[in-house]
Amino acid sequence: MNINTQWWRDATFYHIYPLGLCDAPLQNDFNTVNRLDALYPWLDHMQTLGLDSLYLGPIFQSTSHGYDTMDYYQIDNRLGTQENFARFAEELHRRGLKLVLDGVFNHVGRDFWAFKDVQTHGEKSAYRDWFQNLRFGSQSPFGDPFEYEGWQGHHSLVKLNLAHPHVRAHLFDAVALWMDQFGIDGLRLDAADCIDLDFLRALHGFTKSRRSDFWLMGEVIQGDYRQWVNPETLDSVTNYECYKGLYSSLAENNYFEIASGLKRQFGPQGLYQDLLFYNFVDNHDVDRVASKFENKVLLYPLYILLFTMPGIPSVYYGSEFGLDAVKEPYSDVPLRPALDLNALESHPPQPDLPGVIQRLVELRRQSRAILWGSYREVWVQPNQLAFLRRFEGDSALTVLNSADQPAELHLEGLPWQSGRLVDGLNPGETFRIEGGQLSLTVSPTWGRILHWEN
């Protein structure tokens, strides 16, 4: 595919979990209520931040949290009707935004219609082969007269037999519906690392034949990312490999951790130099990143790194204000709240953070080096990190300081013998380069984004 048709190469994402944000009941009461109207002000907000793509969490009809699908062809009653969603998608695209939905194809809920048919008709069900390792003759943990495979042992989530041609046809027809009727621009594939690669290749062929610029991104926790990201399967995966290092390098005064990950992935000998992963500091499954820091001002160098490292950055709704939330032992509900946008904008926990993110989005969009450039580490110490991004004639030098004191750095081995560096993050500040060397000071818990001028 021509890279010029890959809209995600320039994308900046906003991630919303709609059942939570729209304050839907935790269990589906099957009363149809249009709660999607609550999302429109958030489109204004994400555009104010400069973000141009929306990853909208699960919207298919489900029993509870959205990842226990009942019907792939219907929007969840708790969010509204197909017509409500059509208007929302039309308005989003009118604004020039991209729309990516959750594709939960690895498993379904126990209320999925075909599974209910097996419960009713037993071995005579036409759908008995739709589910992975379904065997009659013994009981499931829920008392069914058969066993089946659940996602990671969770029998409330029934694993589909994705090799079955009728299962594939059912899922692909659903994808076609959301593509054709609502113009979705991509799918985030839940639990992609649990899905057979042959299914992913078939899905890739199906979607790309309909729209060559349709984006497929997979949730992958660990493993060799090239197994999933290649011309035959997916365009991107969640960068969980760098996720922990992004915050713990700050919380534990150890930039060496994230520096090692970035070098392994994108450095001169990196494994994934030509790939663009989906980068995040939190999401609907993990603690809000602000909860990781006693000193909340560490959020500022964190987001500077997120928006200048290689890859596609994503902001989880509410975290741009510095919200705290911690995952409970058996519940993700605290991570997925209903939020009052007006109240957050009036009294944000971190008043300056939204404006900083807005500036970072703008600087990223202006720099081909930050968007697509190579990565080379220039300097790393426990509380300081500097790295260089380069693409064709454009260069960007990011310098970070997580300490609570100013940092004086003397950087050597830069690719320019002379000239000056202009700081886009701190307007009006410039630095001279002498013999490939640069001396500069970085404010506490802050950074610099420097571009070279001859």
What pLDDT does residue 3 have?
53
- CATH number for the region 372-453 comes to 2.60.40.1180
Assess contact for 390 and 371: CB atoms under 8 A. no
Query: Can you give the residue ranges of every domain in the chain?
Result: 3-368, 372-453
Percent of the chain with pLDDT over 90: 97
pLDDT at 454 over 90: no
Tell me phi and psi for residue 12, to 5 degrees: -130, 125
Per-residue pLDDT of 235-244, as tens digits, reads 999 999 999 9
pLDDT at 192 over 90: yes
How far is 14 from 214, CA to CA, in rounded Å? Answer: 18
Give mean pLDDT, residues 27-36: 97
Per-residue pLDDT of 287-319, as tens digits, reads 999 999 999 999 999 999 999 999 999 999 999
DSSP codes, 63-75: SSSSSSEEEEEEE
How far is 363 from 126, CA to CA, in rounded Å? Answer: 56
Tokens of 119: 């419960």
Q: How many CB atoms lie within 10 A of CB 394?
A: 17
In our burial notation (b when 16+ CB lie closer than 10 A, e otherwise), range 42-67 reads bbebbeebbbbbbbbbbbbbbbebbb
What pLDDT does residue 1 have?
46
Assess contact for 36 and 76: CB atoms under 8 A. no
Per-residue pLDDT of 77-120, as tens digits, reads 999 999 999 999 999 999 999 999 999 999 999 999 999 999 99
Tokens of 408: 């004086």
Domain spanning 3-368, CATH architecture:
Alpha-Beta Barrel (3.20)
User: Pick from 288, 454, 452: which is nearest to 378 by CA?
Assistant: 452
Assess contact for 37 and 22: CB atoms under 8 A. no
